[in-house]
Each structure stands twice: as structure tokens, then as C-alpha cells.
Amino acid sequence: MENLFQIMKCPTRFKVALATYQFEGEVEYWLGTVKPREGENLMTWGRLKEMMDNQYYPRDVRRMKEREFLSLKQGSLSVMEYAIKFNELESLCPTPSGHRGEENGPL
């Protein structure tokens, strides 16, 4: 989804609406239980991603991927294979601020 938003140069204020429009089934039901009610602050893109991670990306799996990322070595991998693995793992690991993504502003 992030790649699509980058290609489209999607303004942050539209990201939650565009992403959640795609939700179906259990995820759509889950959204109905967590989305802000009338009069509450709007959900930010950063907050939605954080809530999705907490719901669908278990902490033990996250920690395993973080350890794998921190211990990644090129070894017998080609530079291209290493770069692909690095980018894959880096995208799954939180930044020092605790969020993966750059744009966490309100919508």
C-alpha cells in the first residue's frame, strides 16, 4: 500500500480512507470496532498502521524478524540477494521512534 501511495503522491490526509476502503471480511469488521466515533479525533495513517501491526503481526514474529535483521550478513548471498533481504527485513522492523513509516500526521 505504501508503494502505491508513493507512486500516486497520495496526500497523507487521504491514506486512511483509501486503505480502509479495500478492507473486507474480518478486517472490515475489526475496523468497525476500532475506528473513532463521532466527535473523537480522526485516525491517523500512522495510528492505523500501528493498530494493524498489533492486531495482525504478532509481537513474537516481529521480534524474530528484528533479530534476523540485526544479524543479517551477506555471506554467500550476491549483493542483489542481500539487498533484497535487507530491504524486506528493514521494512518489517520499527524505526527507533517505534513506527515504521514516515508520515504519521492526522487526516
- pLDDT tens-place string over residues 58-103: 888 888 988 999 999 999 999 999 999 999 888 877 654 444 444 4
CA distance 41 to 14: 15
Distances (CA, A) of 71 to 63, 67, 83, 85, 96: 12, 6, 14, 12, 17
**21-59 tens-digit pLDDT:** 999 999 999 999 988 887 888 899 999 988 998 888 888
CB atoms within 10 A of CB 45: 26
Quote the pTM value: 0.61
